[in-house]
Amino acid sequence: MYLELPSIPLYPHQERMFKALHDGKNVLSVIHRRAGKDIVSLHMIVLRALTRVGTHIYLFPYTVQARNVCWEGMDFSGKPFISNIPECLIAKKNDARMQLTLINGSRIIFCGSNNLDPIIGSNPITLIYSEFALHHPLARQYLNPILIQNQGLEVIQSTPRGKNHLYELYEIVRENPKYHVEHLSIDQTFKLDGSPIISKEQVDDARRMGMSEEMVRQEFMCDFNVGNMGAYYTREMDDMTREGRITNLVINPNLPLHSAWDLGSVDSTAGILFQLEGNFINILFLLHDSGQGFKYYLDKAEQIRISVGCRWGTHFAPHDLAQRHQGWEQAESRLMLARRAGWHFQITPKLSVEDGIEATRYIFPKIRIDKNNCDLVVRALREYQREYDDLKACFKLVPRHDWTSHITDAIRYLAINFRRLYDIPQSPISYTSSM
């Protein structure tokens, strides 16, 4: 049997990437929207699976995206995306796990970086990241040591989202001989006949439909210098950086250590440990993980408190703390679990997300963040943004739910309670006439 891979005609930039992977190089491609990233990545992972037996993972920011885009999605012609893998190569198909076993024994798994534990346990030798800029910034840090040990390869493709972890990685590897690096705008990608993949006329149509110039620069020109579009706290974070409030903070053992929490039922949980020092809110530690029971986070927080020698202050939790959530300690409410562990929470008033964001903006000038323990807090506040409506070409009025959500929600609960309990305006001075 003879098969030609890839089974699709490759654009010139795709051919360069394919050749680099075949030659044993990692690939980093910063490329514009609609350039055929996922279709060529699918063929690249098949090539890797056929040439080296092992586990090969196609990674999306969220598992639901892996199912919607690859496993159940269709290409522009209406052809099932997964059908680009020839049936004669597939020995077994597991729909629940989104896993293909090929005839040579290799496994191709489609999944999301929002749940890393199963990925780490699968011991991959190939990792393909779709839209790397939208992945959790720590995902690659957890997975890359496995690839190094296995002498594996990674393929990273994405459109920019400001100067986040994609930009940082691009700057690190752009001169690394082990990486093939591309940074391509619509002016640099062409079809086989030499015409542009995305024409200037199509970009002008997008502008007429309401796409902003900043979005055009980000999506089509791959400009890292465009700020994170739709971000809530861009100005506030710029002020914080300029004023030096992201710095090395010293914990004051004479002050109480407070906490504010956002609790996920089946996804991530975030806990912020902070002190109030003078006019400042010092954010000192972040507890952030997924797939753990509430007691796990409480124990971690207690270990930190003991290590720094502080006493506990006040603990703030979301309004739904008393609700029972499936999957949490046999449906026992987390409020009761916390009380049995010696923790007593104040329940945050239920306000709209918009009011909570405004409360966060209000306390921003008072916030200082420890840059060593809370790097993820800084990243989350920079990247927390509105959901984008592709049909209307504008941002919605609601936040996008991604890896930043739980961390910024914990900050939001901190802000609501700070304004309610601590930021009490002084009583006005009354003047009496001396006459």
Give pLDDT tens digits for 310-324. 999 999 999 877 665
Q: Is 318 left (phi over 0), alpha (psi -120 to 50) or beta?
A: beta
**pLDDT attached to residue 338:** 79
**pLDDT attached to residue 4:** 63
Same domain, 181 and 245: no
410-434 pLDDT, tens digit each: 999 999 999 888 765 544 444 444 4
Same domain, 338 and 382: yes
41-55 pLDDT, tens digit each: 999 999 999 999 999
Q: Note whether residue 402 is domain-resident.
A: yes
Where does a domain end: 156, 185, 219? 219
**pLDDT attached to residue 322:** 63
Task: Give the model's confidence band at 147: pLDDT under 50 very low, under 70 low, under 90 confident, else very high.
Answer: very high
Same domain, 165 and 261: no
**pLDDT attached to residue 330:** 47
**pLDDT attached to residue 424:** 53
Q: Note whether residue 72 is domain-resident.
A: yes
**pLDDT attached to residue 426:** 43
**CATH number of 77's domain:** 3.40.50.300
Find the domain containing 151 and state its range: 12-219
For 25, 54, 84, 123, 144, the CA distances from 152, given in Å and listed in that order, are 10, 10, 24, 10, 9
370-395 pLDDT, tens digit each: 999 999 999 999 999 998 776 666 77
Same domain, 307 and 164: no
**pLDDT attached to residue 420:** 85
Same domain, 362 and 304: yes
Average pLDDT over residues 49-64: 95
The Cβ of residue 84 has, within 10 Å, a number of other Cβ atoms equal to 17
Burial class (CB in 10 A: 0-12, 13-18, 19+), 130: buried
Nearest to 29 by CA among 133, 150, 111: 133
Same domain, 157 and 294: no
Which own/partner pairs from 239-247 qualify as long-range (CB within 8 Å, at least 24 positions apart)? 239/364, 239/365, 240/364, 240/367, 240/369, 245/367, 245/368, 245/369, 246/368, 246/369, 246/371, 246/378, 247/368, 247/369, 247/370, 247/371
**CATH number of 392's domain:** 3.30.420.280
Q: Note whether residue 334 is domain-resident.
A: yes
Tokens of 134: 């939208």
Q: Note whether residue 7 is domain-resident.
A: no
Q: What is the pTM of this model?
A: 0.79
Where does a domain end: 191, 219, 247? 219
**pLDDT attached to residue 323:** 63
Q: Note whether residue 433 is domain-resident.
A: no
pLDDT over 60 at 209, yes or no: yes
**pLDDT attached to residue 314:** 95
Nearest to 384 by CA among 231, 250, 259, 226: 231
94-142 pLDDT, tens digit each: 999 999 999 999 999 999 998 888 888 889 999 999 999 999 999 999 9
Q: In the chain, what percentage of residues exceed pLDDT 90?
A: 67
426 CB contacts (<8 Å, ≥6 apart)?
Answer: none
Average pLDDT over residues 328-340: 65
Same domain, 305 and 250: yes
Same domain, 110 and 252: no
Same domain, 23 and 88: yes
Strand partners, 269: 289
Same domain, 38 and 169: yes
Burial class (CB in 10 A: 0-12, 13-18, 19+), 255: middle
170 CB contacts (<8 Å, ≥6 apart)?
Answer: 28, 30, 181, 183, 224
Q: How far apart are CA 130 and CA 27, in angstroms?
A: 12
pLDDT over 50 at 326, yes or no: no
Where does a domain end: 156, 190, 219? 219
3-state secondary structure of 277: strand
pLDDT over 50 at 66, yes or no: yes
pLDDT over 80 at 190, yes or no: yes
- Asked whether 370 and 283 are in contact (CB, 8 A), the reply is yes
Same domain, 91 and 166: yes
289 CB contacts (<8 Å, ≥6 apart)?
Answer: 268, 269, 296, 297
Q: Note whether residue 279 is domain-resident.
A: yes
pLDDT over 60 at 249, yes or no: yes
Same domain, 264 and 167: no
Q: Note whether residue 430 is domain-resident.
A: no
- Asked whether 290 and 268 are in contact (CB, 8 A), the reply is yes
Query: Tokens 């703390």 map to which residue?
Result: 321
Distance of CA 76 to the CA centre of its chain: 27
Q: Note whether residue 136 is domain-resident.
A: yes
Task: Give the model's confidence band at 7: pLDDT under 50 very low, under 70 low, under 90 confident, else very high.
Answer: low
Domain count, the chain: 2
CA gyration radius for the chain?
Answer: 25
Task: Give the model's confidence band at 79: pLDDT under 50 very low, under 70 low, under 90 confident, else very high.
Answer: confident
